[in-house]
Amino acid sequence: MILKGSAVNRVLRLLFLIGLVVGPVVILATTSAWPEPVATHFGAGGLADGWMSRKGYQAFMIALCIALPLILWAPITWLPRIWPQAVNLPHREKWLAENRLPETFTMLERFGLRLGLLAEILVLAIHYSVWEANQHQPAQLNMSLFLPILVGGLVGIGGLSFGFYWQFKET
């Protein structure tokens, strides 16, 4: 079965909400036994050169895990509904025509949800690399783990953005 339009958005909304709940739970569960202080910044060789309190790290990462996806999703989904004239899309006259607005809003929401989900995954992946680094004494970031996370996040953002603009091409 292939989901279309708003059905895809319903699934993405559910995944997005699950991520907003699961992310903070994972962060709390994986950091509760960490000693003080927690290595949170690493130099070029991967050795820790910056630290935070465990509670400070937990608060920062939980805030990031919740706020970043919401900051990405909300404006993409809701601002076009409030100010459609401010939307900048390829062939905007076509996509912002009254008869196309529901489809356009569905596509914008889908992009916002996907971008928010990618942000949730990226924050948790970075948290995992910091968790793994703090398992060593002295704390050391595994660059062969961290760099693919970083590159994967950038490629994911680029791919989502390309796909987003591609769907608004002239047909």
User: Poorest-confidence range of 2-6, 30-34, 58-62?
Assistant: 2-6
* pLDDT at residue number 35: 84
68-127: pLDDT as tens digits: 999 999 999 999 999 988 888 888 899 999 999 999 999 999 999 999 999 999 999 999
Give tens-digit pLDDT for 127-150.
Answer: 999 999 999 989 999 999 999 999
If one counts the domains in the chain, the total is 1
pLDDT, mean of residues 3-31: 92
Domain limits for position 140:
5-167
Residue 48's φ and ψ, nearest 5 degrees, are -65, 135
Percent of the chain at pLDDT exceeding 90: 81
Model confidence at 50: pLDDT above 90: yes
Q: What is the reported pTM?
A: 0.89
Q: What angle do CA 33, 36, 38 make, to 5 degrees?
A: 90
Look at residue 170 and tell me whether its pLDDT is greater than 70: no
**Taking 80 as the threshold, does the pLDDT of residue 24 lie above it?**
yes
pLDDT value of residue 85: 84
Average pLDDT value over all residues in the chain: 93
